[in-house]
Structure 1
Amino acid sequence: MALVSAADPQTSSVSSTSRYCRYHVFLSFRGQDTRKTFTDHLYTALVKAGFRTFRDDDEVERGEGIKPELQKAIKHSRTYVIVFSKNYASSKWCLDELVMILERKRLSADHVVLPVFYDVDPSDLRKQKGSLAEAFARHQKTQPSNKVKEWREALAEVADLAGMVLQNQADGHESKFINKIVQVIGQKLRRRPLSVPHIMIGMHSRVNKLNLWLQDESDDVGILVIYGMSGIGKTTIAKSVYNSNFGRFEGSSFLENIKEVSQPPNGLVQLQTQLLHDILNGRKMKISSVSEGLTEIEDAISSKRVLLVLDDVDHMDQLDAVFQMKDQFYPGSKIIITTRHARLLRAHQVTKVHKVETLHYKDSLELFSWHAFGQDHPVEGYIEYSQKIVDHCGGLPLALKVLGSSMYLGDSIDVWKSALEKLEANPNGEILNKLRVSYDSLQDDHDRNLFLHIACFFIGKDKDYIVNILNECDFYTIFGIENLIDRCLVIIDGLDKVWMHDQIRGMGREIVRLESKKPWKRSRVLRHKDSFKILAEKNVRNMSYMNTYRCFFL
């Protein structure tokens, strides 16, 4: 069976950190200040609320560095509550903890830091005055200058995070303050990162570009469209971008597979209910109609900065409500849309469009190798046929993953050769079913038949040549080709020739082959030997089928 290594150099940091969470909360505090008072009460409240919480109960003075068990606890925690007391900065171990916590936070939005200002003000940390100034005066005499600089920068950074101040939020009432902290932690823990593939070859540069757009700090309500053919990685990219950024927003929602979810009765209401549940941090609301849902959503999105992802949008009515509400979104909110239907968005204003292209050959071979061999290159002896299978996939991530996982290390080269020959004759069923979604979504039989004609007979032909022939067969070819381009099923190159991805072409021809086991009963005859066989038999009954379907012969 194919192996996948856990040491993939391009593994998403978000997915790796989210797979293992030993603690919900890591408590950082100055023991001599709050261990037996505020922090003890906070710890008890967190545990009572069901959160696995780590605190260091060791009263013994630590050594020169952070203890290994503390390092592990920081690494395997999802949220960090840092209790800032007057003497917090006097402890070099607390400052080292703070530096490590902020390093973990920078890895992904999945790590949440909640500063709690117990008897200090955020401005004290930012300006490092009062008791902090005294503490750093002592550190300056005993610690390396680069270490002190690192601590100062960490304190300034955490002071700018959204935190909780005892005097501001509970008027000094510690019990109320602790209850509010527990509520905030609960809200943050409900916002979990989405599952993304362990192996992300070729995706990181694309994700990074989109992250820059999301992190521009502008007050504009931005709309990003990610589009491309089926199996190209649109949803994976959108999920990775969402995971890297949802913690920057007050509310977030990823509505997956909208095309399918919206189809059943009340499907749009179901999507609205999920959206409200997500951005209201788990609060349940009952919606009876789409119009009622719109009213509730407008109220929710007008008061907080949100990140909304609409995945696999296929129809205009799925978008209309969102764009009608654009002016209601709180400044700085962002909307990401994934679709196979490029023209769907032309009537609306978007701020950025990202077309997802196929992978380059080097990345394709690496992605296939991880799935087939558990390493970034083919095993000796399998190189030639690995390269041929990669060529067959045409840079489509879906095909590379499916075929890589289906090949077995240890099978003879003859088996690999036979598998490739079978693929060239009959596409893989799993890939076919996922690619066929685009074909099935075409609006009518006219466009479906036009697609099948091009897939079977006109790849690489001049557009005008195709139009002249098929217009004579009662097709509205120019309009139909535009619809196919819109669905990412065909492309027109710079020389005005019509092409489609090899996997899409294979899907179209397989649809024809599956019409019947008997070639003369299919709508089109593709193979030379089938054509000659039908003609050689001179079977009038067979020829009548051919006339009925206007078969073409290659």
Structure 2
Amino acid sequence: MPIFYHIDPSELRNQKRKYGEAFAKHESENKNVESWRKALADAGNLSGDVANGPETVFIKQIVETISNRLCVPISSDDEDLIGIEARLQDLKSKMEMESDRVLMVGIWGLGGGGKTTLASALYDEISSKFDGSCFVKDVREESSKRGLPNLQKEILSLVLKQKTEEVVGDVGRLIKSRFRRKKVLMVLDDVDHLDQLKELAGSNAWFGKGSGIIITTRDIHLLIAHKVNVIYNISLLNDDEAIQLFHKHAYREHEPVEDYEMLSKDVVTYAGGLPLALKVLGCFLCDKDMSEWRSALARLKDIPDNDIVEKLKISYDGLKPIEKELFLDIACFFRGEEKDEAMKIFDACGFHPTIGVKVLIQKALITVSEEEGRFDMHDLIQEMGRYIVRGENPKNPELHSRVWHVEDVKICGMHATKENDRIKALRVWSLLDRDIPSSSLPQVIGNMKKLRWMVWYDYPAISFSSEFQPMELCFLELQSSFVEQLWEGYKVILIVPLINYKLE
């Protein structure tokens, strides 16, 4: 990088002034200066920086130019950054990169969706433009293990380039006093509680002009409550990006073996554009033959990959108990169903669904379509929810909290004589033309002591069992059923009925 310090490049090319005088002197001493002339002329033709104006400004320009050149550009060939370049440019277009104000940016979305990768790419590209910077990974986990004061100390030492043991005193106060005079870049990755933001990046007044705070989270509510300037909802990979990422992990060759292409598409469809799932499955299948690929895909339909489930389950684990119940009901019964109809059941069960549904949306666990008002969620999120319900007994539905498959009702019918205190919700579309004796069904229902709600279409028996004690039943819906009476005698319960026939 040529720097012309108090000299114009034309003086080198033309060898005028002091250069001309020096060459004349050397020539008078019979020295061969032609190679020297050529070297200086070539130097004068180079493209470089000319020092004009205040020296401090010129030095700052040089540092900025070198820093920008040293920043590693994102390569589309990088296996972990496929699809990130487009999202990075989209995010930057929403940020005021050259503004003097303090900018807080939130990157929000599904677990395993690429939030950390995007934040890392942005950090790598712009960190050189700041006086100090730090990338704090796994704030959720690290704050739980080490406590927020230790994270504050780590941030202070990284930004000020000091050893951790050199940071003494009230760390929170030091951050406020030292950072407000600096242009700081800070990434807080995987934040899950508002207190973490308050303690690590309390307000814009903590930081100097032009500072940037980047926050990744699964909970958009935290970003809204902390009043961040920009909220970016990271999109999942499209089909082309997904197949490219999967190939990078699943194949050692640059292109997939032709016979595996259809199986690859099946895997990509299963992953639904989730980068985490594509990487995990690609790494698992990379040394497997075709028959093993088919076996693995068949197994995934019954038993999801544990690494994927555990990553997605973090969002579920952060819910309150009543929100967990609400989420599991939606995952098991109401995906694709009208929200208004489901809300009647949730309301009857005392779930306070208006606020509960809002929380689930903010944590990226569910969505509600604007046009039709129907519940939806990512395939793997639904799979995670149903996996939680099945627990350690996937083949024993009588031990599940919810039953939604007709075949599972048949299995429950095989245990008609056993008391059941597990099943909380039951939804059956139809048992007509099924190999299930209707005579056993009243006893099956009668043994469900914890049943909270039930929806049954074409219920084939004429009544429930006389032993049915639905002390927790809040909602009952029977349509096109053979029921003549619910039970004999009186039951002290609360029922919100939606029954399409008249009870005598």
TM-score under structure 2 normalisation? 0.71
After superposition, what is the alpha-carbon deviation per residue over 1:53-79, rounded to whole angstroms, capped at 9, x for unaligned? xxxxxxxxxxxxxxxxxxxxxxxxxxx
After superposition, what is the alpha-carbon deviation per residue over 1:479-536, rounded to whole angstroms, capped at 9, x for unaligned? 1110100110001112211101001001001011115353212111243322112125
- Amino acid across the alignment from 1:269: P
The match for 1:162 among 60, 70, 74 is 60
Structure 1 partner of 2:348: 472
The match for 2:359 among 466, 483, 494 is 483
Structure 2 partner of 1:233: 114
The match for 1:367 among 224, 245, 260 is 245
Q: Any idea what SS the aligned residue of 2:60 has?
A: coil
Alignment of 1:232-251 (within 5 A): 232-251=113-132
Cα distance, 1:477 vs structure 2? 1.3
Structure with bigger RCO (C-alpha 8 Å, 6+ apart)? 1
Q: Which deviates further from its counterpart, 429-438 or 253-262? A: 253-262
The CA distance in 2 between the partners of 1:487 and 1:251, in whole Å, is 31
Structure 1 partner of 2:327: 451
Alignment of 1:135-534 (within 5 A): 135-138=12-15, 150-153=46-49, 160-162=58-60, 198-211=79-92, 216-264=97-145, 267-285=147-165, 292-322=170-200, 324-375=202-253, 377-409=255-287, 411-412=289-290, 414-442=291-319, 444-494=320-370, 495-516=372-393, 518-534=396-412
**8 Å CA contact retained: 1:298, 1:328:** yes
The match for 1:547 among 438, 449, 455 is 449
Q: Any idea what SS the aligned residue of 2:448 has?
A: helix
**8 Å CA contact retained: 2:108, 2:234:** yes
The CA distance in 1 between the partners of 2:45 and 2:102, in whole Å, is 37
The CA distance in 1 between the partners of 2:406 and 2:197, in whole Å, is 47
Alignment of 1:70-89 (within 5 A): none
Shift in alpha-carbon separation, 1:409–1:309, aligned structure 2, 3 A: same
Cα distance, 1:250 vs structure 2? 1.1
Unaligned runs of 5+ in 2: 17-36, 64-70, 421-443, 457-504
Q: Any idea what SS the aligned residue of 1:381 has?
A: helix
Cα distance, 1:545 vs structure 2? 6.1
Q: Any idea what SS the aligned residue of 2:105 has?
A: strand
After superposition, what is the alpha-carbon deviation per residue over 1:197-239, rounded to whole angstroms, capped at 9, x for unaligned? 7431111111233445667322111111100010001011111
Q: Any idea what SS the aligned residue of 1:311 has?
A: strand
Q: Any idea what SS the aligned residue of 1:261 has?
A: helix
**8 Å CA contact retained: 1:523, 1:549:** no
Q: Which deviates further from its counterpart, 311-320 or 370-379? A: 370-379
Cα distance, 1:321 vs structure 2? 3.5
After superposition, what is the alpha-carbon deviation per residue over 1:399-427, rounded to whole angstroms, capped at 9, x for unaligned? 01101111135513x32222111111111
Higher-Rg structure is 2
The CA distance in 2 between the partners of 1:432 and 1:392, in whole Å, is 13
- Amino acid across the alignment from 1:473: C
- Amino acid across the alignment from 2:148: L
Q: Any idea what SS the aligned residue of 1:262 has?
A: helix
Shift in alpha-carbon separation, 1:326–1:435, aligned structure 2, 3 A: same
The aligned length equals 399
Shift in alpha-carbon separation, 1:375–1:261, aligned structure 2, 3 A: same
Cα root mean square deviation, aligned: 3.4
Cα distance, 1:319 vs structure 2? 1.4
Cα distance, 1:153 vs structure 2? 4.8
Cα distance, 1:144 vs structure 2? 12
After superposition, what is the alpha-carbon deviation per residue over 1:252-278, rounded to whole angstroms, capped at 9, x for unaligned? 0111111111124x6111110100110
**8 Å CA contact retained: 2:148, 2:199:** no
Shift in alpha-carbon separation, 1:484–1:534, aligned structure 2, 3 A: same
**8 Å CA contact retained: 1:298, 1:325:** no
The CA distance in 1 between the partners of 2:286 and 2:7, in whole Å, is 65
Shift in alpha-carbon separation, 1:286–1:143, aligned structure 2, 3 A: closer
Q: Any idea what SS the aligned residue of 2:100 has?
A: coil
Structure 1 partner of 2:463: none
Shift in alpha-carbon separation, 1:437–1:550, aligned structure 2, 3 A: same
The CA distance in 2 between the partners of 1:387 and 1:332, in whole Å, is 45
The CA distance in 1 between the partners of 2:166 and 2:415, in whole Å, is 67
The CA distance in 2 between the partners of 1:402 and 1:154, in whole Å, is 52
Q: Any idea what SS the aligned residue of 1:354 has?
A: strand
The CA distance in 2 between the partners of 1:284 and 1:408, in whole Å, is 42
**8 Å CA contact retained: 1:399, 1:431:** yes
After superposition, what is the alpha-carbon deviation per residue over 1:106-128, rounded to whole angstroms, capped at 9, x for unaligned? xxxxxxxxxxxxxxxx8x63xx5
Structure 2 partner of 1:105: none
- Seq. identity, %: 34
Shift in alpha-carbon separation, 1:432–1:146, aligned structure 2, 3 A: farther
Q: Which deviates further from its counterpart, 340-349 or 209-218? A: 209-218
- Amino acid across the alignment from 1:248: K
- Amino acid across the alignment from 1:488: A
Shift in alpha-carbon separation, 1:386–1:552, aligned structure 2, 3 A: farther
**8 Å CA contact retained: 1:314, 1:340:** yes
The CA distance in 1 between the partners of 2:84 and 2:128, in whole Å, is 21
**8 Å CA contact retained: 2:175, 2:206:** no
